[in-house]
Amino acid sequence: LYTTIGGIRGVAYNTLLQGIVMLGGSIVIAFIMVKAAGGLPEITRQLAQLDPNLITPPGPKNFLPLPTAFSTFFILGVAVMAQPHVVTRIFTVKNMMSLKRSGALISLITLVWFMSLFVSALAARALIPQIDVPDRIFPTIVLQYTGSVLAGILLSAPFAAVMSTVSSLIISTSGAIMKDIYQRNFNPNASEKAIKMTSYIATIAISAVVMVLSFNPPKFLQDIVMFAISGFAASFTVPIILGFFWKGGTPMGGLLSMISGFVTLLVLYAQPNPNPFGFNPLVWGLVVSAVVMVVVSKVTKPNDSAFMEKIFE
C-alpha cells in the first residue's frame, strides 16, 4: 500500500524505519540466542559434540572452504551496493559525496547485520540440533526463549528486511516498465497523469504476482536469495563502483561489463564444479567484468569532458 501510494518517498521513509528494526532486532536476537545456549564457549562445546567438523574449516563435507567463505562475505558486504533495491536510492541523494558515503555505510551495516545472523545460526544449531525447515529456526527459538510481546517485536526484524527489499524492488521494476517499456516504446510524449497511472498499474500488478508466488514458497529461501544477489552483483558492481570513482569509464564499457559479468556467472553455475579454486562464481564474474570495463573503456569514445566534470564536481 505505501509503495503504491507513497512511491519512492514512502519507500524511503519506511525503509529507514524498517532498517532500524531489522538491524537492532538481529543484534538483540543474537544476544538472546547466545545467552540461551550458554555463551560462545558452550556453543563451541556443543557443536564439537555434534560434529567436530562444525568448528573447524572447511566444515562438514567440505561445506565452506576458506576461498568460498571469503567470497561469500564479499557478496554479503561489498556487492550489496549493486542490488537494484539499493541502486534505486541513487536517484534520491543530494550530491555525489553523500552517495559515496552511503555506499560505504551500506557495506558496514550489512556486514554487522549478517555477522549477527551468523552468530545466531551457530547458537541455533546448538539449541536445536535437528530441524526440518531451516527458515523456521529463528521464529522457533525466539518464541521459545522470550515472552510473546518481545517475540513479536523481534520477529518483526526479518519481516522488516523482507518488506524493505520487496518494496524497493517493486519500485525499481515498475519504474523500468513505465520508463523503459511504456514511455520509450509506446508513448514517448506521455502526460504526467498517464505516467502516474502506468506506474500505479505496474506496481499493483507486480505486487499481485509476488503475493501469488508467496503462497508456495521453496523449502529453503537462502539458496534463491544468494543466487539472485550474485546475479545482480556480477552485472552491476563493477560499473557502479568504477562509475563513482573513475572518470575514464564509457557507456559501452559499462554495458559490456554488465553483460560479461552476468554471462560468466551463469556459465560457471552451469558447471559441475561452479567454484573454480574454491571461489564463488561471483568473484570470477567480477574479475571478468572489471577487465572488460577497463579494456573497452580505453578503446571506445569517452564521455564529454564537461559532463564528467559536472558528475565529479
Q: Are both 213 and 232 inside the same structural domain?
A: no
Q: Report pLDDT for 289.
A: 94
List pLDDT tens digits, range 126-139: 888 776 667 677 77
Is residue 99 domain-shared with residue 122, that is, in the same domain? yes
∠ CA 192-163-19, nearest 5°, is: 105
Confidence category of residue 203, pLDDT binned at 50, 70, 90:
confident
> How far is the C-alpha of 124 from the C-alpha of 289, rounded, in Å?
38
For residue 56, how many other CB atoms are within 10 A of its CB?
A: 10
Mean pLDDT of 256-274: 90
Q: Which three cell numbers stand for residue 266?
A: 551463469
Measured at the CA of 122, the angle between CA 121 and CA 125, to 5 degrees, comes to: 85
Give the range with max mean pLDDT: 52-56, 139-143, 254-258. Answer: 254-258
Residue 4's pLDDT band, with cuts at 50, 70 and 90, is low
Statement: the pTM of the whole predicted model exceeds 0.75: no
Pair (53, 171) in one structural domain: yes
Residue 211 has pLDDT above 80, yes or no: yes
Q: Which residue, 174, 197, 217, sits at the end of a domain? A: 217
User: Do 52 and 179 lie in a common domain?
Assistant: yes
- Mean pLDDT within 138-143: 78
Q: State whether 147 and 269 are in the same domain.
A: no
* 87 and 138, same domain (yes or no): yes
Its domain, for residue 58, covers 2-217
In this structure, the answer to whether residues 25 and 142 fall within a common structural domain is: yes
Residues 37 and 167 reside in one and the same domain: yes
Mean pLDDT score, 85-107? 72
Query: Helix H segments across the chain?
Result: 2-36, 40-50, 66-76, 84-87, 96-127, 137-145, 148-176, 192-214, 221-245, 251-269, 281-299, 305-311
Q: Which of 228, 254, 225 is nearest to 240 (CA)?
A: 254
**Based on the domain organization, do 188 and 169 belong to the same domain?**
yes
Residue with cell 537494484: 84
Mean pLDDT, range 29-57, rounded to an integer: 88
One domain for residues 155 and 304:
no
Among the candidates 170, 194, 217, a domain finishes at 217
More confident residue, 106 or 293: 293
Q: Domain boundary residue among 197, 217, 237?
A: 217
Indicate if 112 and 243 belong to the same structural domain: no
Give pLDDT, residue 295: 95
Clarify whether residues 145 and 12 are in a common domain. Answer: yes
One-letter amino acid at 133 equals V
Count of structural domains, the chain: 2
